[in-house]
Amino acid sequence: MTKFTVKELMTHFGFLMEESDLGIRLSDPNEQNILHFHQVLDQLKGLSFTDEMEESTFIGVLEEFFESTGEMLYPFDQLELHTVDIYIRGLVMQLNRLGCATTGSCDGHDRNRAHIYFVNSHAAKKAAILLDRFNAPCHLNRTHITFTESRYELPQLASQLAGLTVEDAEGIFNQNNPLMKQFEYFTLLEQLLSINGPSGEEDNIRTFVIKQLTPYVDYLEVDHYGNVLAQVKKGNGPTVLLNAHLDTVDNFAPDRTILKDNHIWTASEGILGADDRAGVCVILAVAQTLQNSTFRGTMKFAFTVEEEIGLVGARQLAKSFLWGVDMAFVVDRRGIGDIVTSCGGYISFCTDEFARNVKRIGHHVHRNRWNIVAGGSSDTRIWAEQGINSINLSAGYNYEHTSNEILDIKANYGTYEFVTQLLEESRYLKQVIRNRNDRNRIRTVNRGNIG
Q: pLDDT tens-digit profile of 429-445? A: 999 886 444 444 554 34
Question: pLDDT tier at 351 (50, 70, 90 boundaries)?
Answer: very high
Q: Which residue has the higher pLDDT, 41 or 394?
A: 394
pTM of the shown model: 0.88
Region label for 337, one of left (φ > 0), alpha (ψ between -120 and 50) or beta (otherwise)? alpha
**Mean pLDDT along residues 243-250:** 98
Cis peptide before 276 (omega within 30 of 0): yes
Give the integer Cα–Cα distance in Å for 418 and 398: 19
**Contact indicator for 180, 403 with CB cutoff of 8 Å:** no
Angle between helical axes of 409-424 and 352-365 (0-180°, round to 10): 120
Is the pLDDT at 73 greater than 80? The verdict is: no
**Mean pLDDT along residues 149-158:** 94
Question: pLDDT tier at 447 (50, 70, 90 boundaries)?
Answer: very low
- Residue 29: the pLDDT is 83
Give the integer Cα–Cα distance in Å for 348 and 342: 4
Question: pLDDT tier at 26 (50, 70, 90 boundaries)?
Answer: confident
Q: What angle do CA 164, 166, 167 make, to 5 degrees?
A: 95
**Mean pLDDT along residues 388-397:** 98
